[in-house]
Structure 1
């Protein structure tokens, strides 16, 4: 694995493994976490799941039970955190809907918020990190979905990058993989 990428948790479930990782993000200028559910199949297409406002990478993984469906369909679930954390920028935690836990999967435009470049992190850095480090993931067959803030992020990212994703959410159904 690439230096700086470390496994920080692993749980066996539904004949696969749910693993959590930490790495330094060049795009965001801080450490980031993400979770991956690896189904038992050898090489799996990827479903990126973007969580909602105030969530972390763990909310969906712990509460959804989506691993069961992913296991039977041979789909890997990739769940990034929703924003940078621990930067101690003035105002980052003053409101639940702005700053920590509220990256909105966009790139901030003001210098003070330069670390909030979640669009670039999701679209560019994370897929490269995955393809460079996890041969069992087929990142060329990827879809993107989410809920709340993450649902909006998934739709806007998908529509701007039709060449990168096979599908996005549609009435709780994922097309394309």
Structure 2
């Protein structure tokens, strides 16, 4: 199966390009999608620092890209935005879509420990596979200058990934929602 990313969508915004890609992930055993916002550049040899955005529960790779408007700031600062999907999809694992907070859309950016959920290896995907894929296929991205952020489940993921990999990320910024139930 083809692991090289294929562009499946593109739109111009704030002088740069928002592009969506699809590829087969050996780590997750399925096709995955992710977005890259490429800010404008005056030189084809310029390399952009990157900000990984990890979305929250029930989100996809599109939520942040479509709703946030973060491309305006990324354009002004010359930072590429990387927004991966939140979980494997299309594996048809029994029970994967039975609950909004477990399974599809709820990868938690961790590696599952039970055999049934062996494809839910979002930690390895975000920390290992995706950066390698980006550095091998997008020479305009400087993966050595990466930061990580997220909200809700993605905030938790960004914080735990950052704390386990202090040498890989320059900055972490998170928004974590806490719910108290009586």
TM over 0.5: yes
Hey, what does 2:178 align to over in structure 1?
none
Which structure has the larger Rg over C-alpha atoms? 2
Counting matched residue pairs gives 170
2:85 counterpart of 1:89: no
2:169 counterpart of 1:135: no
TM, length-normalised to structure 1: 0.94
2:74 counterpart of 1:70: yes
Segments of 4+ in structure 1 off by > 3 A?
A: none
* Farther off after superposition, 25-34 or 38-47: 38-47
| Aligned residues of 2:159 and 2:174 also touching (Cα < 8 A) | no
Hey, what does 2:170 align to over in structure 1?
166
| Unaligned ranges ≥5, structure 1 | 172-177
Q: Take 2:167 and 2:130, find their aligned partners in 1: how far apart are those partners?
A: 16
TM, length-normalised to structure 2: 0.91
Hey, what does 1:32 align to over in structure 2?
32
2:143 counterpart of 1:121: no
Pick the aligned partner of 2:47 from 43, 49, 69: 43
RMSD (CA atoms): 1.1
Question: Secondary structure at 2:63's aligned position in 1?
Answer: helix
Q: Take 2:58 and 2:157, find their aligned partners in 1: how far apart are those partners?
A: 14
| Unaligned ranges ≥5, structure 2 | 176-182
Q: Once the 2 structures are TM-superposed, how far is the Cα of residue 169 of structure 1 from its aligned partner?
A: 0.2
Hey, what does 2:84 align to over in structure 1?
80
Hey, what does 1:8 align to over in structure 2?
8
Q: Take 1:162 and 1:30, find their aligned partners in 2: how far apart are those partners?
A: 29
